[in-house]
Chain A
């Protein structure tokens, strides 16, 4: 390849300069066309996204392992240093949890008996796929992570991604060996939730900040900071009663929720396949489209 003599050489021939400008204009037009295409949200765009993520997934998977190991190492050192204090705290917590366990067992038995009395329809079965987080993408404009399980592992669109702490997000794109989880903090995330003991219905909407907002609340609903937020299961996409977070701000202007998830330690995600017996989801395919689904977009 010839070595270029410098940028000035391009401009020596006017025709070449004109061709460069024309090519540049075409690229700008192409960028605008992409914006329109993305706005129309076609299948094509989704396929392109999945193709890129699927191609990059093996590289990310290899690269994310050493990072995890280093991270674990530092975590272990930190844990060693305050082992004693932590032990004491855990002892106290264990004692408290034992009491709760007794209460839960009694309530579960009572619940079961009442359900039988009332002949409640049993809840849908849950099937889990556990996947490792291999990519953390998006930056300030979108919040999503990539996981190393795809359609070949039984992952499907709209499955809930959860950890032991609570709800993390929802599957939006599925490749063969990877999938994208739209986090509940993303600006496009809308999750139907119930708030507090009054089980007030609301939609949890992200805005790319750490604390998503509560939208579409009833005007007379009473919500206080400290109220628990759980998934409602409305729309039939998400399992109900998954813990989501705690209300931190409840003013006239904004209601914000602090998610339970510790984003810094998001290493494994459980993808919950919620099989509603009456909705008959197609195996491996998209759930039937309809108004309830639209509410989640």
Chain B
């Protein structure tokens, strides 16, 4: 293969890294940790990952990739189908329309904006999940999952920053 072909392949692999990394984290979240009471409120890593990449590299996290991540998350998790892609797409649209706010935002500002955005995402999931299941989903685990997601945000974001520095200079 010629040098240009290698370069293009390399570029393609780097371009896919945000998507691949997000999938890897979805899988990692499914590994049983066997810590009591943690598994029902495990942070929504898909939400954090999609938020990070659509804010920092929207060119590498297009809408179809967001949709696919939501779909895989639903299929793997066994929850109500379709809610994951819908909620992540709404998040995508919310960030896309307010791009100017995010452009110059530092870590703490982005974390602060993530608070209401994630809250809205969980509220939507809860609403649509309850509608699909025809019964009210207990709100307590949902609220706790929201809190763990907020708390886990800096940790995951740090990993993504390192990945962005390593692969996507």
A28: which B residues are within 8 A, CB to CB? Answer: 86, 89
Contact A35 B82 (CB under 8 A): yes
The B-contacting residues of A in range 135-174, CB under 8 angstroms, are 135-146, 172-173
| A23 contacts partner chain B, Cβ-Cβ < 8 Å | yes
- Cβ-defined partner of B75 (8 Å) among A23, A32, A33, A48: A48
- How far, in Å, is A79 (CB) from chain B's closest CB? 15
Contact B39 A263 (CB under 8 A): yes
Main secondary structure of the interface of B (DSSP, over half): helix
CA distance A62 to B126 in the complex (A): 33
The A-contacting residues of B in range 6-53, CB under 8 angstroms, are 8, 11-12, 14-15, 27-28, 30-37, 39-42, 44
| B81 contacts partner chain A, Cβ-Cβ < 8 Å | yes
Contact A24 B89 (CB under 8 A): yes
Contact A35 B78 (CB under 8 A): no
| A265 contacts partner chain B, Cβ-Cβ < 8 Å | yes
| A34 contacts partner chain B, Cβ-Cβ < 8 Å | yes
CA distance A109 to B120 in the complex (A): 62
CA distance A23 to B66 in the complex (A): 12
| A219 contacts partner chain B, Cβ-Cβ < 8 Å | no
B34: which A residues are within 8 A, CB to CB? Answer: 67-68, 71, 136, 264-267
A133 and B32 in contact, given A35-B82, A141-B142, A142-B78 (Cβ under 8 angstroms): yes
B64: which A residues are within 8 A, CB to CB? Answer: 23, 27
CA distance A180 to B93 in the complex (A): 33
CA distance A17 to B85 in the complex (A): 21
CA distance A63 to B33 in the complex (A): 10
- Cβ-defined partner of A135 (8 Å) among B32, B71, B89, B145: B32
- How far, in Å, is A98 (CB) from chain B's closest CB? 31
- How far, in Å, is B5 (CB) from chain A's closest CB? 12
B44: which A residues are within 8 A, CB to CB? Answer: 139
Given A187-B138, A207-B138, output 18 extra A-B contacts at Cβ < 8 Å.
Answer: A30-B85, A32-B82, A34-B71, A34-B74, A53-B76, A60-B31, A63-B27, A67-B34, A136-B30, A136-B31, A137-B76, A139-B40, A139-B141, A140-B141, A141-B142, A142-B79, A209-B140, A263-B37
